[in-house]
């Protein structure tokens, strides 16, 4: 929809399209303004129109979610690294799937999110691959 929450964003970032939230997503975002965006089930990036993040922070979320889509769809090879004990504790409730947790950590390292905690050399090596694959400077 013209002028909607995705207005002002490019049609796609890093090869991944964006769209406005569906009604159910909008309802979720309204109740959870701390969730800045997501890689939706249709492999599109959906930003939270109620988020108070700066434009720079929103761009980091877009990068993070684009990386998640690339890893989830197999366009990029999936991460095969182990998480540190601290990362395991921090992301234990995030998903029961270890690959989901590793992809979350990789995407957060790529986008500069400190919640990824201290990366290991293997994690940095994978993120460097992902950066090159996505054309991120």
Direct distance between the N- and C-terminal alpha carbons of the chain, in angstroms, rounded to an integer: 31
Q: Give tens-digit pLDDT for 9-40.
A: 444 688 899 999 999 999 999 999 999 999 99
The secondary structure of residue 82, as a DSSP letter, is P
CB contact at 8 A, 18 and 6:
yes
The predicted-structure confidence for 94-123, as pLDDT tens digits, reads as follows 889 999 999 999 999 999 999 999 999 999
Tokens 């890689």 belong to 39
Per-residue model confidence as pLDDT tens digits over 46-94: 999 999 999 999 999 999 999 999 999 999 999 999 999 999 999 999 8
């Amino acid at each position: 929809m013209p002028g909607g929450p995705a207005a002002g964003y490019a049609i796609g970032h890093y090869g991944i399209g964006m769209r406005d939230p569906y009604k159910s997503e909008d309802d979720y975002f309204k109740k959870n303004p701390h969730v800045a965006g997501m890689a939706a089930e249709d492999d599109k990036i959906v930003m939270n129109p109620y988020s108070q993040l700066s434009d720079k922070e929103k761009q980091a979320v877009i990068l993070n979610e684009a990386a998640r889509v690339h890893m989830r769809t197999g366009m990029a090879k999936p991460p095969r690294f182990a998480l540190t004990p601290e990362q395991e504790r921090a992301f234990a409730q995030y998903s029961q799937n270890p690959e989901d947790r590793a992809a979350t950590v990789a995407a957060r390292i790529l986008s500069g999110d400190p919640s990824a905690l201290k990366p290991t050399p293997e994690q940095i090596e994978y993120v460097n691959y992902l950066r090159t694959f996505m054309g991120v400077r």
